[in-house]
A = this chain, B = another copy of it.
Amino acid sequence: MPPELPPRPGSRLDPWIGSYADRAVGMKASEIRALFAVASRPEVVSLAGGMPYVDALPLDTLADTAARLIRDRGASALQYGSGQGDVILREQILDVMSDVGVIAHPDDVIVTTGSQMALDLVVRVFCNPGDVVLVESPSYVGALGIFQAYECDVVHVPMDEHGLVPEALSETIDRVRADGRTIKMIYTIPSFHNPAGISQPAERRKEILEVALREDLLVLEDDPYALLGFEGHIPRAIRAEDAEQVVYLGSFSKTLASGLRVGWAVAPHGVREKLVLAAEAAVLCPSNFTQGVVSEFLATQPWRDQVAVFRDLYRERRDALLDSLATHMPPGTHWTHPEGGFYSWLTLPEGLDATAMLPRAVNALVAYVPGTGFYVDGQGRRNLRLSYCYPEPERIREGVRRLAGVIDEELDISATFGTAATLHQPGGNTAPGPDLA
């Protein structure tokens, strides 16, 4: 009788386990997902999700817009469309981008199923497995998911209070190239950063672009929040200074409605051509219907007023967050002061671990995203992201009170028993999930 062998891992559950592509081997659900399922219960104050407050939209107007679109132009709105996106919408996108100083031609724009897809296409077109992508430290979890899905080698570059540090960027480029590795792009979120909640001043943007030009590196500028600044000015995009060095990503998810999944990229001509071909292979074309709803809304409604409604609403929530953090957080806790966007980035007192603390926070009916999700290299254990975009101000205050209570308890435990136990670190190619967007 042969000796009993241990079963091949996973083989009983998934007969295809041996057949997947290399890029899919590490794909696994984040271990914090189960917690987020719990966190979506109404009694939990979720400071975790990046969901825009679409409840503030004029629903009757949008209902009329969608109905009119189908009645008047249904035969084209319900049909396949251009792989590059509707040309009228592309012209309207130029108007939207004029607010961040971007001047382009409609031919330079490609409309995508949310700007997440634009990001996917750029990486698809540029990155071989093993190519290096430079990202901020921390960076957007959904971008990290894409880079990892294409087996890129993600290298973090430090930020300071003005964002990505140009000297550190230069040093990192030198170091990576000295190792013989190929860098394909610098990925940055210059305005109201997700998750860091900070914005690059104009001077900093100039310095970053200079590094990119000197080192001949593409800048991938991800800019979904630029119009949601609270201090009365809209930051000028890096792309506004250079049309050839930058691929710019924009989105209607935060200024209109995320459920429509309409985003875009603006790219240098040759790159844009590749992006369209890649998009056609991936989805044939974006939805003519959702593009039509956006286009009709932009054409017939005072859309800048609607953005102002969102801006005022998020400012009030930002204030509620910062006020209550200042009131309740124990010494040794730090956080960023966002001047726009959805997020503040909090650093716990020394010795605490945001991942380990999460189950206890959810138990105390408050949720956040632990910092390690925004790094590929295990950084961020003392950090967490707080979103103020979705809950009402009073709920935000209550959430912060609860969170402060949890941190106080952790500090007590830590003082008594030493550093708290940690959950196993989720590693490899974990997908973000829309709830973490």
Contacts and interface: CB of A to CB of B under 8 A. Distances in A.
Contacts of A244: 15
Interface stretch (A232-240, A264-272, A315-323): A264-272
A289 B269 contact: no
Question: For the side of the interface on A, what is the size category?
Answer: 35 or more
Contact of A116 (B66, B82, B284): B284
A117 interface: yes
Contacts of A283: 113-114, 116-117, 120, 261
Contact of A260 (B23, B274, B289, B434): B289
Given A80-B258, A261-B286, A270-B17, A149 B281 contact: yes
> Could you tell me the dominant secondary structure of chain A's interface residues?
helix
Interface in A88-130: 113-114, 116-117, 120, 124-128
Interface in A420-437: 429, 431-435, 437
Interface string A373-413: 00000000000000000000000000000000000000000
A67 interface: yes
A27 interface: yes
A14 to B, nearest CB: 3
Interface in A263-314: 268-271, 273-274, 276-278, 280-290, 293
A24 B78 contact: no
A146 B290 CA distance: 24
A212 to B, nearest CB: 13
Contacts of A10: 270
Contact of A287 (B51, B77, B261, B285): B261
A34 interface: no
A259 interface: yes
A278 B59 contact: no
Nearest to A125: B24
A218 B16 contact: yes
Contacts of A282: 116-117, 120, 146, 149, 282
A287 B290 contact: yes
Contact of A74 (B54, B218, B258): B54
Contacts of A70: 59, 62-63, 66
A16 B259 contact: no
A432 B261 contact: no
Contact of A274 (B15, B27, B60, B64): B27
A55 interface: yes
A417 interface: no
A281 B146 contact: yes
A38 interface: no
A66 B64 CA distance: 9
A259 B15 contact: no
A184 interface: yes
A75 interface: yes
Contacts of A128: 21-23
A59 B79 contact: no
A28 to B, nearest CB: 7
Contacts of A257: 78-79, 289
30 contacts: A14-B268, A14-B273, A15-B268, A16-B270, A19-B126, A21-B125, A23-B128, A24-B274, A24-B278, A51-B79, A52-B79, A57-B78, A59-B70, A62-B78, A63-B66, A63-B70, A63-B71, A76-B259, A78-B258, A79-B257, A81-B434, A82-B434, A116-B282, A120-B281, A149-B281, A259-B287, A261-B285, A282-B282, A287-B290, A289-B293
